[in-house]
Structure 1
């Protein structure tokens, strides 16, 4: 599996830094995980967007899915589109109406807009689903909306992606023994942090250490957060390989 980072800025895009978006590729199948603000431009810099075989969303906050509107325009109106097949989308149940609302021009259009000519929506549920060559296990995340963390397996290797979440039993079980953990770490640790929202650097390190994760990739650090302090917390709790992901970087899982 090859993981390409389209964007990794937490909560909002930063200067020249798209928000959350990743490509995961294996056996010629290209899966996009999240498509936050700025990631569609980054995608076009590295791949033809028509190469996408499926989309996977952990939740529907804008920093993880806002660029779906631009992808919709491309797939619906490109005059020389190589095909018009519907793109499979695996996402929380509200995705069809939320994505239509983001795409619509006004309230009346919002009620009538139907994106089913562009996308084939499949509502996520806790449990296992196969997306192309990938076995994806979704677990409920601790976040203020329907949200999931993912464990993705292929060829005997596993990648876990926390999405946005606080520490919870479902996350701990999901990441047990994973080869690579792609984890958010949105802030440093403090007693007054809002519960069930995000991981601190210490949280992320402790989850990785308890799971025996083989490698940790840290992502989703907001522009206002001290990234060095977050990474120091991760490394204090987890003694394995820790990398802060970079936009445009490719990681061999």
Structure 2
């Protein structure tokens, strides 16, 4: 029991027991000053204000966490679409792989350590080729597959040389190496002027299952070379080039050479 003097009047009030309110806990009754604790208020409005501050603080923390995660993702290098587009780390590369890569690019690595050799090959690639879309590596793979020497050539010249080689070969096989399904032999298009083979039979034609319709327009050579993998796969399908069901089972270089081969005709 206590008293409080106000101007012109006197009244009595009871301080304890009294109900106190908290932002995150149920109201409770306290009986003495010793039970007063931080965070408890004599008004539910004050407790609600506390709760709003707590919620705002949690919201701000969540926003900061999301922003930090976004910046971390932006700073991280993009994943390689094709693991073969770049050389592996020095600790993962085998001596055979390293020697093959150096040979493909015409780089002398004799007497160098693995790390020095990888660095030299990478430097040669960066100085002489545009790897923005992974297309050079595909061309090199294709050239190696068919045994075409493209050392010292630009990418466009290398592609043209591969195309010329494929056109001169006595016979060709489907790009993915698969045998056409039974009853679905490759149509070599008898209207094409193919040179006869030694036994008088018509020599096999290019890797196409039929002559593409007139609605298919093949872009310029430079445009074809710059096309992305998915676009090349779609164009090759429209041109009726025999393709594997999995787009990743065929390289860009292989599709480019086949498309340009058809364009030359």
Query: TM (normalized to structure 1)?
Result: 0.27
The structure where helix makes up a greater share of residues is: 2
Return the index of the structure with the highest Cα Rg.
2
Which structure exhibits the higher relative contact order, with contacts defined as CA atoms closer than 8 Å and separated by 6 or more residues? 1
Query: TM (normalized to structure 2)?
Result: 0.26
The structure where strand makes up a greater share of residues is: 1
